[in-house]
Amino acid sequence: MSNDIIVYGLMAVAALFLIVIIAYVILMKRMNHSDVKQAMALKAGVETKSFSADIIYQKLYMFYIKIPGIKRYLIKLRRRLEIINIEDEYLTRRQSAKVLTNALLIIVPLTILIIAFTKQNTLLMAILLIFEIFMIETLIDGMVDKMDNKLLKQQIDFFSEIRHAYHESNMVEEAIYQTSQNDELEISRQAEKIYEILISDDPEAELEKYYDIAPNSYLKEFAGISYLTREFGDRKDQNGASLYLKNLNNITQEMQIEILKRDKLDYVFQSLSVISAVPILFIEPVKNWAVSQFSFTSQFYDGKGGLIVQTLILILTFVCYTLIRKVKDNSTTNANMKNTENPWQAKLYKNKLFKKIVDLVMPKQGTKDHRKITNLLKDAASKSKIEWLYVNRIVLAVVTCFVSIFMFYQLHRISIQYIYEQPSTDYNILGQMSTADEKKAMKTTEKHNYFLNKFKGKTDTTKKQIENAMRHSSYYETATDDEITTDAETIYTKLQVVNGEYFQWFEMLLSLVFAFLGYMAPIWILMFQIKMRQLEMEDEVMQFQTIILMLMKIERVNVEIILEWLERYANIFKEPITKCVNNYEAGAWEALEELKNDVSYTQFIRIIESLQAAVEKIPIKDAFDELDTERAYYQEKRKESNERLIAKKGRIGKIIGFAPMVCLFVGYLIVPLVVIGMLSMTSAFSTMSSSM
């Protein structure tokens, strides 16, 4: 095994070296290509060397965009980066190529390792290579999230500079312009965009457009507060401090809390995704070690039981890997990207035949089931349409059914193959057979295979018929009656297994059951997402409190404006708030009362009741005066809430992340060793007792 790994490693190194040489030659030939000139023109005025990293990444971008499989990931990646790099095509292309290249540098060696370790198991190799497709997306998401976190940290310093600039000029747009001159920072591009919005002819309309593409909610808050301050003027609080600067301070505190939360989540989950996926790489090494040390276990690992446990580990690994991503998910740009995406589900739904099937299965609009599924998607904050959801369900059900049928056929084939290929002899409990013993055992297997082929398919064959055939064959010319009787018993037992391995009706039924489980899986994933979102309700309500705290002292701000702001930043409560905003003109109190009935979270209901009081009875600043007076308390409560959230997510993540590893060592190694070892010892003692 070690020699094979060395050979495969050397071959892999040679192949990678050859790929590098070919890539270098191609880059040399294409240096004057029109695509390269176009990429260089996007960064006019910037001097770079002919073989700088920037130019290499631009050429790689042009290369990746032409490869069908990689093109999908590249386009999906650049849609997320476009949000961070506003109107900077050169930087978007460079970062897209860089992230994708880094992902490929991880995936390619991993692919080589998978092929090296699973070359004797084609089925396992195929499943692992398919699993890599999901890993690519995870790696890409993780790299983009790092850029998003980098932008968030830059905003802390940016807001600090804004404060100094505003003290000098007392003009919002001038302060933003002065602090946006550093072209090397990603935040500078956002600041330039906000500055252009503030000085535009219709800043309110431009601001609404920016809300749709802003990388995070804190930049939305900053842009909105800057617009309101420029439009209505700045005010002084009771201590004489600028209200605009105080709001900037509130946003900064929110960002600091969010950064700490993300850092802690990254620390807790940094290795869980890897831990949940690693067991699939150890399936073959564990099997090879167990068989080499305890030869009697080959009947499990090379038979049905081994394949069944392997399949269960692979399924469990895939499920746990997906759930780990759902638990940790803190991406902000991903939600915006999904709105512009044209997924394969939409393309498949355009097919007339498939559309008829989906429409037949999907509940009709206006029915109770349709409303239930629609609400499920909304509660889970899923950007998928109900049509796409049912495309997923149908495709997954069909694929699961066919894969299950294939797996049952594979199990029957492996059982028959084991009978025909395994040495026919008694195994020792420890160690392996010697070369001489193995050759002798294989000769016995060849003799048995002759009679198996002769009687294969004849289900009414008896031991007597096998003995008669053996006596008239050249294999047993000199054999004694006892040897013939013993071998006939063994051949008859093998024949029963071979003749009994065929696809049966209950296996078709099981395939349909598995298909149903596949059909329900997308719904269960949505339910899991809802459970995870419910953990963050308190965090979102506290964000609402910060928004209200910033708005309540600004002149001309009313309840309707506050609701519009809450709708803009809402995630969990977005649907009921949107409904309230739409119904507000028909009756403010009634709309808020309906909103109160639509939600069940106590802290949010208190905010709604304060909004109701501000509609008719008292000013907004009086309705929410406790937010200002108890600001420190709410900040500490927010931190403590985040600690509990992270701890709870961490516990859930560890249970999910370590499940495949536990299943591998317990279900695939320890249990087979103990059970088969006990059975072998029992059989050995029975044989010894009968011989005595």
Count of beta carbons in the 10 Å neighbourhood of residue 371:
12
What pLDDT band is residue 336 in, cutting at 50, 70 and 90?
Answer: very low
Question: 514 and 401 in contact (C-beta within 8 Å)?
Answer: yes
What is the average pLDDT across 512-533?
A: 86
Q: How many angstroms separate the Cα of 200 from the Cα of each of 79, 161, 205? A: 26, 23, 10
Q: Per-residue pLDDT for 13 more than 60?
A: no
Query: For residue 330, what pLDDT band results from cuts at 50, 70 and 90?
Result: low
Give the pLDDT score at 109.
Answer: 82
The two tokens of residue 654 are 């560890």
Whole-number Å distance between alpha carbons of 383 and 337? 10
pLDDT given for residue 496 in this prediction? 79
Spatial neighbors of 243 by CB under 8 A, at least 6 apart, are 229, 234, 235, 236, 237, 553, 554
pLDDT at position 516: 92
Residue 333: is its pLDDT beyond 70? no
Report the candidate in 546, 549, 608, 614 with the shortest Cα–Cα distance to residue 573.
608
- 234-241 average pLDDT score: 72
Strand residues in 163-249 grouped as ranges (E): none
Decide if pLDDT at 46 tops 70. no
pLDDT tier at 422, thresholds 50, 70, 90 = confident
Weakest mean pLDDT among 120-129, 158-167, 641-650: 120-129
| Cα(545)–Cα(637) distance, integer angstroms | 12
Tokens 């990444």 identify what position?
A: 57
> Which one-letter amino acid corresponds to residue 660?
P
Question: DSSP string covering 400-451, please?
Answer: HHHHHHHHHHHHHHHHHHHHHHS--SPPPSSB---HHHHHHHHHHHHHHHHH
Mean pLDDT in residue range 48-58: 68
Query: Comparing C-alpha atoms, which of 289, 131, 118, 325 is closest to residue 665?
Result: 289
Q: What CA–CA distance (Å, rounded) separates 38 from 36?
A: 5
Higher per-residue pLDDT: 216 or 512 = 512
How far is it, in rounded angstroms, from Cα 80 to Cα 337?
6
Which pair of structure tokens corresponds to residue 658?
């370590």
The tens digit of pLDDT for each residue in 361-385 reads 888 888 888 888 888 887 776 777 8
User: What SS3 state is found at 630?
Assistant: coil
In the predicted model, what is the mean pLDDT of the chain?
Answer: 78
Q: Which residues pair with 431 in a beta bridge?
A: 294
> What is the token pair recorded at 314?
């692979």
- Please give the pLDDT value at position 683: 65
Which pLDDT score is estimated for 183?
67
Question: Phi first, then psi: what are they for 188, rounded to 5°?
Answer: -65, -35
CB count within 10 Å of CB 646 equals 21
Distances (CA, A) of 372 to 377, 521, 587: 9, 16, 27
Q: Label residue 551 by pLDDT band (50, 70, 90).
A: confident
Residue for token pair 């349409």:
385
Q: Could you report the per-residue pLDDT of 61-89, keeping only the tens digit for each?
A: 888 888 887 887 788 788 777 777 776 78
Higher pLDDT pick, 612 / 298: 612
| Tokens matching residue 619 | 């000013």
In the prediction, which pLDDT does 20 show? Answer: 56
* Mean pLDDT within 383-388: 83
Q: Could you give the CA distance from residue 68 to residue 80 in angstroms, rounded to a whole number?
A: 19
pLDDT at 607 over 70: yes
DSSP one-letter code for 242: B
Quickly list H helices, 472-569.
Answer: 481-500, 505-534, 537-551, 559-569
3-class SS at 598? helix
pLDDT interval class at 1 (50, 70, 90):
very low
125 against 262, higher pLDDT: 262
Give one word for 556, left, alpha or beta, with left for phi > 0 and alpha for psi -120 to 50: left
Instruction: Give the pLDDT of residue 509.
Output: 92
Calculate what percentage of the chain has a pLDDT beyond 90.
Answer: 2
Q: Does the predicted model carry a pTM greater than 0.75?
A: no
Rg (C-alpha) for the chain, rounded Å, is: 33
Give the model's confidence band at 98: pLDDT under 50 very low, under 70 low, under 90 confident, else very high.
confident
CA distance 329 to 137: 13
pLDDT digits (tens, 9 = 90+) for 458-513: 777 777 887 787 877 777 777 777 777 877 787 787 777 777 777 788 888 988 99
240-269 tens-digit pLDDT: 778 888 888 888 888 888 888 888 888 888
| C-alpha angle 140-146-148 in degrees, rounded to nearest 5 | 105
3-state secondary structure of 294: strand
Q: Per-residue pLDDT averaged across 567-584, rounded?
A: 85
